[in-house]
Structure 1
């Protein structure tokens, strides 16, 4: 199982494997997102088209209804109330005057006459109750299934007169989209009568009634309630929803863009992976070429300003003199497993360069930064023990700094750090306050000293939210009998504030910038040479 996992990890770390995986994942994600986006766009387009159709339909229906109402009003305002030539002539004049009136009828319950002597239209039978009965007008709707366009599609009545518009006039006026239906909803929304198009199942499954001018979407159709002033009925336009081919057409346009973005993502991952692989190879080459240097950031007694130790820092200076930031190559070395080689390099170089001065000054120490890899594996104890024996340096003169984020498994880290501490090494928590440590957490770890992060030191003396963090950490450390080192000191007032809180040790550019081995030895010995000078001491 372990062999399979290792093989899989090695395969995935290859640039082309990562690029192909990134392309496939990007394509899958983009296509998965494209489906709801395409559906949303099609639905939005449907709604827009429905609104356009509805507004146009409403405008034409208003024209049609206005003509029918005006024709009825004209007939009711004239004095004739008897079927005869004059009445028929009056009915014909109204039908000629208003182009949407196909037939005008007089019916007083006993006699009936029309502008069409042959009575070609299909009008409601005498005595039939109107489908809609308003305070002024009555409305009759006829079946839309009749094939004859000359038959009446809609009839309005007032008093003893009725006017109708033919199916053909109604179709021309409304201009209904294909497979659409124009419905009149009555009985407080419980029944829908088709004026044009096919009858529809009613009421819809949900979301009815909507506000005027809003669209209701069902599984198969879209319903648009046209704004009207009448409370007796509602006019509803019903249109079929887009078919699957509409969604596929939308997806077809989105497919090239999704694939192009996925290919770009794959190319970017390939570039970054190759760059990372290249930088990883450069790390190995830099170790062979001796491009890594060790600098020493002095740790001073704040009361005497004397050096008590130093933090060993690794720097990468290329052959052309350019520098690569530790913030770039340290995480890379951790991810590629090369960090252990860098830690060993720092240990070897520190004892080679400062071995004589450490032997001559037993109170002096150098702290070495450990990564999570160093902390979790037992190798570091063996490495440092061998080097200390070679250079005859006491274990107490080599301290180890670990970050809170570097302790992946706290229980394992506690055991490993305790083993180092049992051999005489001091354990320092670096950048304290930026991780997840708490008082209970610290009590479980074998720690000798806390190093307060520069961000909290910078806030000292300012009215900032983080200005009280450093004093809190200091008091907590003192309660646990831990030493405190303040990092990043740059101003004298910071020294005074720290001293007032009981802090004894600090480091920062106020005292010294990171020094090479020659400079550091000179500060310690006052210029006296304790051993032969190395070629890279002052580089």
Structure 2
């Protein structure tokens, strides 16, 4: 039965197929683009809805002002003329008001039990309740009945003994309400609302109603349009449910959907090309491995005080047949994705011992460190490979160290077991680029580690970057408290070496001492036994 790392590698290799990556990229980008398109469309529709509500509210206000204006003019004319009672002259005057005004459905005279109307026997007014709004001049009755009859009064205006009203049918002709919408008259400073047209609405709205001065208020389920009036006693309000207005998407928005699909196809095609290019590089890398075209260089490690070389870090380089050099930052992640990193690790171990086996045997205190990828740390395979090669070349395990990065410690528990197994074999374990990953102090205390390597970024900050210059000393003190050796990476200036030496760091590597060397150059450097202070090899 395959192990978990093997299953993960097989799964990674399955999804690494170009067509699979392209399909996943196309699907993900299509979902993202379509979601964004729908969001833009909905936002545009809401904006269009608000604009339509604003425009409709302005039209309502203009027409309602005409209605109220005619009602006031009609009742003013009746009040100022000298006729009283319900004689023929009064009936004629009432009829004349009804005929001369478009919005006055009924005009009436009421004095106790005496009442007459321009509608004659069809008069629609009923015994009146107290007015909803009692002003100094006019009294207002709103929605005088709930019966669904268009010939019943929806608004009634009174002055003295005279009443004029407009019917629900008249208002419906004037005010084209959206489905589910209502025209309300708001009283008592917003505490009460009477529907004049349309169904009753939930009232009052949220507290924003009393604090906002906007004409149009937008809520998740409805739009409220406030119509300013000249009277402080009431407000006219138009309410419409969201998406009840006729909404239109312009042509540009309709293009978002096919455009999103087309964009997703283009992204999928680009991912396919990149994946095929990477796969082509993967094939070339495999050929380079089989033909031995990879090269191992050695970055020397020195004692800062004596400038004596104590070891080196093995670095793998890929030089193409045309002489061009492919950056490790490009092919190492590729090898990790394809599983070829294991072959590279084995190649580096094999090449180190082939090239430097005699030197290591002659100098038992010299060591070479080899970098391990995350997949190398998660399985005990590397220890087995190293044991066979060390026995073949008669080199002591302590002379081959293994470097792991914090980012490579995916599962700390599993990593701890495998690193402990390497230490049990006699290998040293180094944490590379410490401070740039996510390895906490609590984890570090439990890991079987011999040495910390401080990343070059913290060394560069020494004495320059006030925000970061204290990181390296902090790491050094922490390592000393844990009884760990410290190697400073990327030392390029003598003052850096002196600062680090003053902080108690004994070992360092960098261009101040030597650049990455071939096996022959490294052997020559070691045989000198000591590097002159301040000079590079």
**TM-score, normalization by structure 2:** 0.81
Q: Name 2:20's counterpart in structure 1.
A: 17
Shift of 1:385: 3.1
Whether 1:419 and 2:421 are equivalent positions in the alignment is yes
Whether 1:139 and 2:144 are equivalent positions in the alignment is no
Shift of 1:294: 1.4
Shift of 1:395: 3.0
* Distance across 2 between alignment mates of 1:74 and 1:420: 108
Q: Secondary structure of 2:49's partner?
A: helix
Contact 1:39 1:247 (8 Å CA) reproduced: no
Q: Name 2:507's counterpart in structure 1.
A: 505
Render the CA deviation track for 1:178-203: whole Å, top value 9, x for unaligned.
675434466876664434xxx51454
Gaps of 5+ in 1: 528-539
* Distance across 1 between alignment mates of 2:419 and 2:181: 79
Q: Name 1:128's counterpart in structure 2.
A: 128
Contact 2:486 2:505 (8 Å CA) reproduced: yes
Shift of 1:486: 0.7
Q: Secondary structure of 2:120's partner?
A: coil
Q: Secondary structure of 2:499's partner?
A: helix
Q: 1:455 aligns with which of 443, 454, 457?
A: 457
**1:221-232 equivalent positions in 2, closer than 5 A:** 224-228=225-229
* Distance across 2 between alignment mates of 1:439 and 1:168: 80
Q: Name 1:531's counterpart in structure 2.
A: none
Shift of 1:332: 1.6
Contact 2:369 2:403 (8 Å CA) reproduced: yes
Q: Name 1:520's counterpart in structure 2.
A: 522
**1:57-206 equivalent positions in 2, closer than 5 A:** 57-77=60-80, 81=84, 100-101=103-104, 104-109=107-112, 112=115, 116=118, 119=120, 122-125=123-126, 127-136=127-136, 137-140=138-141, 141=143, 145-146=148-149, 153-165=154-166, 169-177=170-178, 180-184=181-185, 192-195=194-197, 199-203=198-202
Q: Name 1:536's counterpart in structure 2.
A: none
Q: Name 1:534's counterpart in structure 2.
A: none
Shift of 1:489: 0.7
Contact 1:132 1:232 (8 Å CA) reproduced: no
Shift of 1:373: 2.4
Number of matched pairs: 518
Larger relative contact order (Cα-Cα within 8 Å, sequence gap ≥ 6): 2
The alpha-carbon distance between structure 1 residues 516 and 237, as it changes in their structure 2 partners (threshold 3 A), is: same
Q: Name 1:432's counterpart in structure 2.
A: 434
Mean CA deviation greater in 136-145 or 244-253? 244-253
The alpha-carbon distance between structure 1 residues 268 and 300, as it changes in their structure 2 partners (threshold 3 A), is: same
* Distance across 2 between alignment mates of 1:65 and 1:349: 99
Contact 1:130 1:139 (8 Å CA) reproduced: no
Contact 2:48 2:248 (8 Å CA) reproduced: no
The alpha-carbon distance between structure 1 residues 119 and 167, as it changes in their structure 2 partners (threshold 3 A), is: farther
* Distance across 1 between alignment mates of 2:505 and 2:50: 71
Contact 1:366 1:398 (8 Å CA) reproduced: yes
Mean CA deviation greater in 176-185 or 423-432? 176-185
Shift of 1:135: 2.0
Contact 2:192 2:204 (8 Å CA) reproduced: no
Q: 1:329 aligns with which of 316, 328, 331?
A: 331
* Distance across 2 between alignment mates of 1:344 and 1:16: 30
Contact 1:189 1:203 (8 Å CA) reproduced: no
Render the CA deviation track for 1:479-518: whole Å, top value 9, x for unaligned.
3332211111111111111111121211111122212223
The alpha-carbon distance between structure 1 residues 171 and 200, as it changes in their structure 2 partners (threshold 3 A), is: closer
Contact 1:189 1:209 (8 Å CA) reproduced: no
The alpha-carbon distance between structure 1 residues 147 and 392, as it changes in their structure 2 partners (threshold 3 A), is: closer
* Distance across 1 between alignment mates of 2:110 and 2:184: 27
